[in-house]
Amino acid sequence: MKATIALLPGDGIGPEVTAAAQAVLEEAFGQFGHRLEFRQALIGGAAIDALGDPLPADTLETCQASDAAFLGAVGGPQWAASETRPEEGLLRLRKHFGLFANLRPIPVFPPLAALAPVRAEILSGVDLLFVRELTSGLYFGPRQEQGEGANGEGERAFDTMEYSVQEVERIAHVAFRAARRRRRRVTSVDKANVLASMRLWRSTVDGVAKQYPDVHCEHMLVDAAAMHLLRTPAAFDVVLAGNLFGDILSDGASVLSGSLGLLPSASLGGERFGVYEPVHGSAPDLAGQGVANPVGAILSAAMLVRHSLGLEDLALCIETAVARALDSDRLTQDLLLHGPNSSPPLTTGEMTEAILQHLGCGVFLAV
């Protein structure tokens, strides 16, 4: 087959991890005899600097003409005072393509258990998938910025958490369908004891749950979920959450993996097209040093291959190569922070190279 992928490197470490994902995709596609075309486009702060818009029309057209988009990261302190923020580009991209379902698996690699900030026995049996609602909630409800007031005093600003039954239903279906392919358990996270929008969330999820009698459904308040996810993570299967709570909890759960740098994500709508990005941000303090962990980006590329291109064996091949490369004491610096390891950390390029070397699937399939 021939696939076209839009590459949106963005800001900070975004370009470095995007290059790593691109190298792995090229190698894997070559081995499987598929053809691949990349089209690069601007997003975030880089697009503000070049064109004054974090999501230029040209970027949307490039995405429109592609099977999927890969995004590095957006944001950085240099745009903190800018009138339009880099993050707005990402939010508009998600909204434009109706990418309401954000899948965030928490990969736990047994060889890394000793390096995670959480005790190894707590990690045993962990296999978690976050299903985060991505185009509504507090991120997209009615808002008013400081200085936008009727008489311009700028004394007050607000954001609104708003959900409709239809918005909750469609993301709940994604969670329950995913649970059917896994351990058949959905934990829906909300704050129904305080927020009206979250009471609607809970009753709507209950309605959807009735259509999946084979899946166990439970509700958990977000504050309790933050604690239980780190105390008894193996008890969870699919965690269903709104936009803000899913954002916060998935960063928190990254400590189960050992590093935020390992986490991939897929943002999907009703079509095959999706946007794939590592969960980590632009990490301005690491940018340009070649030390960022490329694994979150490379695992996002595997999700792209699976969900937008339907090439399951190619996705598995990339994931296997990553798992093998992580079964080593040569790791990137983010993973070595908590362990006794004393070997010098790998650079982004060296880690990518290690994964490329384990991509032996072309040969394997030919046998």
**Residue in 73, 71, 59 with CA at minimum distance from that of residue 8:** 71
**Active-site residue, selected from the candidate residues 11, 163, 191, 212:** 191
In this structure, are residues 63 and 69 in contact, taking their beta carbons and an 8 Å threshold? yes
The reply to whether 191 belongs to the active site is yes
Nearer to Mg ion, 299 or 336 (CB): 299
Distance from C-alpha of 324 to C-alpha of 15, rounded to nearest angstrom: 25
Nearer to Mg ion, 134 or 309 (CB): 134
Q: Is 311 in the site for ligand IPM (CB under 6 A)?
A: no
**Active-site residue, selected from the candidate residues 49, 127, 159, 251:** 251
The window from 84-92, 190-198, 283-291, 303-311 that contacts ligand IPM (CB under 6 A) reads: 84-92
- Annotate 44-99 with three-state secondary structure: HHHHHHHHCCCCCHHHHHHHHCCCEEEEEECCCHHHCCCCCCHHHHHHHHHHHCCC
**Active-site residue, selected from the candidate residues 139, 163, 212, 276:** 139
87 binds, among ligand IPM, Mg ion, none (CB under 5 to 8 A by kind): ligand IPM
169 binds, among ligand IPM, Mg ion, none (CB under 5 to 8 A by kind): none
The reply to whether 223 belongs to the active site is yes
Min dist CB 34 to ligand IPM, Å, is 28
| Residue span 232-261 as binding mask against ligand IPM, x where in contact by CB under 6 A, dash where not | ---------------x--------------
78 contacts: CB under 8 Å, gap ≥ 6 = 45
Distance from C-alpha of 304 to C-alpha of 286, rounded to nearest angstrom: 25
Q: Is 190 in the site for Mg ion (CB under 5 A)?
A: no
Q: Is 277 in the site for Mg ion (CB under 5 A)?
A: no
Q: Is 75 in the site for ligand IPM (CB under 6 A)?
A: yes
Question: 11, 27, 237, 247: which one contacts Mg ion (CB under 5 A)?
Answer: 247
DSSP 276-311: E--SS---TTTTTTT-S--HHHHHHHHHHHHHTT--
**Residue in 179, 180, 197, 287 with CA at minimum distance from that of residue 237:** 179
The window from 30-38, 109-117, 242-250, 328-336 that contacts Mg ion (CB under 5 A) reads: 242-250
The reply to whether 247 belongs to the active site is yes
Nearer to ligand IPM, 91 or 241 (CB): 91
CB-based burial label for 234 (10 Å; 0-12, 13-18, 19+): middle
In this structure, are residues 126 and 256 in contact, taking their beta carbons and an 8 Å threshold? yes
Nearer to ligand IPM, 88 or 127 (CB): 88
Distance from C-alpha of 83 to C-alpha of 1, rounded to nearest angstrom: 43
- Strand ranges for 140-299 from DSSP E: 143-144, 158-159, 185-190, 216-221, 238-241, 266-268, 274-276
Whats the size of the chain, residue-wise?
367
In this structure, are residues 37 and 49 in contact, taking their beta carbons and an 8 Å threshold? no
The window from 94-102, 239-247, 293-301, 350-358 that contacts Mg ion (CB under 5 A) reads: 239-247
* Residue that is written with structure tokens 């239903």 in the block: 169
Nearer to Mg ion, 16 or 247 (CB): 247
Min dist CB 236 to ligand IPM, Å, is 19
Min dist CB 294 to ligand IPM, Å, is 17
What the block records as the tokens of 141 is 């409800």
Binding site for ligand IPM (CB under 6 A): 74-75, 87, 90-91, 247, 279, 281
Active site residues: 139, 191, 223, 247, 251
Binding site for Mg ion (CB under 5 A): 247
